[in-house]
Structure 1
Amino acid sequence: MIKAGILGSTGYAGSELTRLLMNHPKVKIEFLDSRSYEGDTYSNIYPNLKGLVDIKCSSIDLANPVELDNIDVLFCALPHGLSQKAVQEGVKRGIKVIDLSADFRISNPSVYEDWYNVEHKALHELKTAVYGLTEIHRENIKTTQLVANPGCYPTSILLAVYPLLKEKLILTEMIIADSKSGVSGAGRNPIDATIYAQCNESVKAYSLGTHRHTPEIEQELSLMAGGQVLIQFTPHLIPMTRGILSTIYVMNSNNLKEKDLVEIYHNYYKNENFIRVLTGGQLPQTKAVVGSNLCDIGFKVDERTGKIILVSAIDNLIKGASGQAVQNMNVMFGIEEMIGLQQMPLWP
């Protein structure tokens, strides 16, 4: 059995990790860390897990985290800035670490510090981290000790654009992504923007040109393209609990037809269990992926404007966070990638 520990277990990402790992036949959870709920029974915080996860939460002292000596993998579901010390301790002990924060996603520490206003104090570990977009970096994930789990918006955008950028079939100068997310993406702590009376029956754009996922997206797009790529990225908050729908506009510089796109995407993703390429006029919708680790991708050629419109849908808490973390754990330990992630989407 793989012995796992979760830091920050009572946030939404941590709770999904807990739910998924408790159902994983090859994993045993050794501890659930929470500073806010130390000593509380986990199922009292998340009543959906009553009788299933009745572990008491503990607060791990990162100055002397002896609990890390008894595990094989550490999941860090902490806010950015707080994961660095935890990751250092895990790496030092030789265990595998999967960080769900932004601390190790951006390879250039100066860029990270500019966007997150936090000093990076784990530069050695940053150099060794592998960006954990599983379908693209699987081979490197197999051999690394530290995975930087991608953000939710980047996952939805990068998987959709990857085949066209990799094949150099679109212009890198014009990529526009319009993404919409449910309110769970803002986390469990209440903030003004997610109060029911203010977000219900309302849709709003936010962080125009300044969203912190932008440098992460651009870093990976640039690696795909083999040169610098900038993106116009606009996120929106919509009044639903979970899910992300991204609509991405790119120039059809090679006059591709829809049959060409079908062939290209099929060739790239035909062996991927968690990516579904929709054809025949079907387009992704969040309802069809919620509760699963799936990413649905569809497309449309707009011959009038000379653009390709890409659409993707994921569950932001699963494929966009905890499910992808479990997928990466499976790859790191050399076990079947789908184990513990075979839940079908909920409908309706």
Structure 2
Amino acid sequence: MRVVVAPDSFKGTADAATVAAAIADGWRTVRPADVAPLPMADGGEGTLDALAAAPDARRHLVTVTGPDGREVEAAWLELPGPDGPVGVVELASTSGIILIDELAPLTAHTRGFGQAIAAALDAGVHSLLLAIGSSCSTDGGAGALAALGARLLDTDGSPVADGGGGLASLQALDLSGLRSLPPGGARVLSDVTSPLIGPAGAAAVFGPQKGAGPEDVVRLDAALANLARVAAEAGRDADPTAPGAGAAGGTGFGLALWGATLGSGAAAVADAVGLDAALAGADLMVTGEGAYDGQSDAGKVVSEVRRRAAAAHVPVALVAGRVDAPTDAFASAVSLTELAGSGEAAMAQTLRWAREAGAELARRLPA
């Protein structure tokens, strides 16, 4: 029997690679099988680590400006591609919320993300995968654009201040110095389908998670609308209503201004790690995430794995930190919270209970 274990990270407790290994170890304690870990991601924190498991992946260290102005030691990833090297750059590790000590909804920025993209371009990558989850800013990708050579100017012709708050004074967008896309283009990886502005937009939906109060949300939404207006006047055809334009505080929109394509993070990661090839020889897929809930079927890793497994006629089992939605579509489902007796216990020893979950699946499912 061949089992492929392809979970997302259990955010806040364990990355995808260690969760996959723990589930696989647990299965093997109950019965022998060819159990292959295949960590997944959807564009958020952990995407770089998941893709680093791909054959011949190479990390390149880079020092960038973090979201609060301090230096951050980060890395971008080089993957082999059919037409040349593919660069993977992750916002979470260059401009992410884990890098800031105190939330700064009006001033946090994405400059470091753009600097890491520039480093990948300098190395001669043929194409880019840009993972934009886990941000702490609402700057519309302005910081990243500035790092790539764009000039965002106020009425005096001076650069606007960093962060979403600075976009309120934006009057002109000079893209004459903006770096070109690599030959194979850039693909944005995200699991967010929000537009840039409005009640379902970046500021309204995600601003509060980044420290924005009600007045900040109004201010940031207006600032993002101003960015969209100025961009249109500059002749850029990026659509602020497009699904994903509001991802990562509007970074999806900023990257679209550059010419990047918005898309599903889980699908791109699945392609990069060879999920379809793994399915071709599998008898069972095991996937999972920290919380399986009503949002899990909206472009998350679990839904992508299940969709591809169904097409390949391979059954799928679920391991989740907690289960808050029906699991009828799975061959079996195990909740770490139920195994451990509480959510607190499950989070305190996630890998222990992930091993127990793997063992439980091996006992439940037929050989």
TM-score where L is the length of structure 2: 0.29
Larger Rg: 2
Higher relative contact order (CA 8 A, sep 6+): 2
